[in-house]
Amino acid sequence: MSSQRTPSEAPRERMRALARLPVFFALAGKRVVVAGGSAAAAWKAELLAAAGARVEVLAADVSDEMRAVADACGEALAIHPRVWTQTDFAGAVLAIGAYDDDGEAARFAQAAREAGVPVNVIDKPAHCDFSFGSIVNRSPLVVGISTDGAAPVFAQAVRAKIEALIPAGFARWALAAQRWRREVQESGLVFNARRRFWQAFTRFAITHPDHEPGADDFERLLAEVKHGAHAASDGSVTLVGAGPGDAELLTLRAVRALQSADVILFDDLVSAEVLDFARREAKKLLVGKRGHGPSCRQSEIHALMVGLAKSGKRVVRLKGGDPMIFGRAGEEIAACAATGIAVEVVPGITAAQGAASRLRISLTERAKARRVQFITGHSEDGELPSDLDWRALADPAATTAVYMPTKTLAALVDKALAEGLDPSTPAIAIARATRSDETIIAAPIGDLPRRVAEQAPGGPLLVMIGKTFEGPTLLSGLQNSRETVRSA
């Protein structure tokens, strides 16, 4: 069977089921009907008026809260002291009802629908065509949060977290983007250069949220992009570390790279959850290099990566773990440099770090380990490397992480034991580290190859060896791990 593999495009992921479709109504100058004068209706009326709607409140009884909102909103909100009629729906774009009685709520909802007007009856989801949700307001940057009515308090907690993450000054930057968009479109910049402008805009806005954006900022950003326009036209390559599998371990910089990519070249070790962070429009190409299985030639990956960048694409080369640790990053950087392609590297959490964090075991536990060493379990031909420092591997004061040793683990251990490694040294094999189906096998290193062969956990394998994994520390780590644990 051939061991060669060609780059292949990953099938575009279909949108998963949504409990609600998040849409944003443009209500400026449009008529909205609110039936009811309660405090709950007052809050919805104020929200609608803030969105620019002409709000007409129909209510025989009007609360003090509603009157206060009417005073604050001025001409944007009118109160009609009567009950609604069918003719009130004519020309309305939305209808909001506030009724405790299910019968009244049903009649109002039916009348609105007969008139072709989307309806919401407050706290009556059975009579609603749409819901409001929780809102983070940095207008024109607006974030809506919905739990489909299942957990309003949870939605409010999520909103509070997002509020803390988004500075109030972002509203000014969103307004500036609104003002500058046409000027950027008419600036003569090519598509990739325009995108670079908005990326530079975003970087500056995020790091200077309290700065008041002005014309000088626009001219400076535009000049920077025009000065580097040749690079924008040529495209670029970004090597991104995807981490060991858990998508929550991605760095913010990695997420930004994925969301700005035109094409993503990814390995088999990259989890589907990580790819979910990519821009939906980005083309995703699998260029996997499987240990001891069909693999794409490294030369093919180089040619594809460089060719796409030369055609003006922003290419993300997405690698499991950290691209600078057993990720052939040096070869890919050299291939880009040889053709003048700009390269950026975004580091990721390597498997040993992810596994240690999941186990809550320090790789450099005082009095147990004075250094950490990372070694590969196979050479270019797939066999055990012949140039490993076996004396260092046998050092009782070292913590050793062995990457990709699935095929060579038994031979590696036999050689290490012959060179002085104590067979009773604690060791752990972790398959699919940090993922939801992670498997951990703990045993003395002398017995670990047999245990791994018997249990055949599958997936990318990492082996860690050292005294830091012994005794109560190991037991505590295994008990705290959420995943499947098999220990001696």
Q: Which residues form the catalytic set?
A: 267, 289
Half-sphere exposure of residue 60, counting CA atoms within 13 Å on the CB side? Answer: 4
**The token pair that represents 293 in the structure block:** 């299985």
Do 36 and 59 contact (CB within 8 A), yes or no?
A: yes
Burial class of residue 239 in the structure, from the number of CB atoms within 10 Å of its CB (0-12 exposed, 13-18 middle, 19+ buried): buried
How far from 387 is each of 195, 226, 411, CA to CA, in Å? 47, 50, 14
Which segments of 158-298 are extended strands (E)? 236-241, 263-266, 283-286, 295-296
Do 57 and 41 contact (CB within 8 A), yes or no?
A: yes
> Collapsing DSSP states into helix, strand and coil, what is residue 44?
helix
**The token pair that represents 355 in the structure block:** 């596994």
Which single residue is written with the structure tokens 């040993």?
352
Instruction: Give the span between the Cα atoms of 96 and 54, in whole angstroms.
Output: 13
Instruction: Give the span between the Cα atoms of 95 and 119, in whole angstroms.
Output: 5
Instruction: Give the span between the Cα atoms of 263 and 391, in whole angstroms.
Output: 44
Do 46 and 69 contact (CB within 8 A), yes or no?
A: yes
3-state helix, strand, coil in the chain (%, to 5): 40, 20, 40
Which single residue is written with the structure tokens 């998963």?
16
Upstream peptide bond of 140 is cis (omega within 30 degrees of 0): yes
**The token pair that represents 57 in the structure block:** 């409140």
Positive or negative torsion for Cα 304, 309, 312, 314: positive
> Collapsing DSSP states into helix, strand and coil, what is residue 304?
helix
Instruction: Give the span between the Cα atoms of 114 and 169, in whole angstroms.
Output: 43
Instruction: Give the span between the Cα atoms of 285 and 263, in whole angstroms.
Output: 7
> Collapsing DSSP states into helix, strand and coil, what is residue 149?
coil
Would you give the distance in Å from CA 310 to the centre of its chain?
28
Do 163 and 145 contact (CB within 8 A), yes or no?
A: no
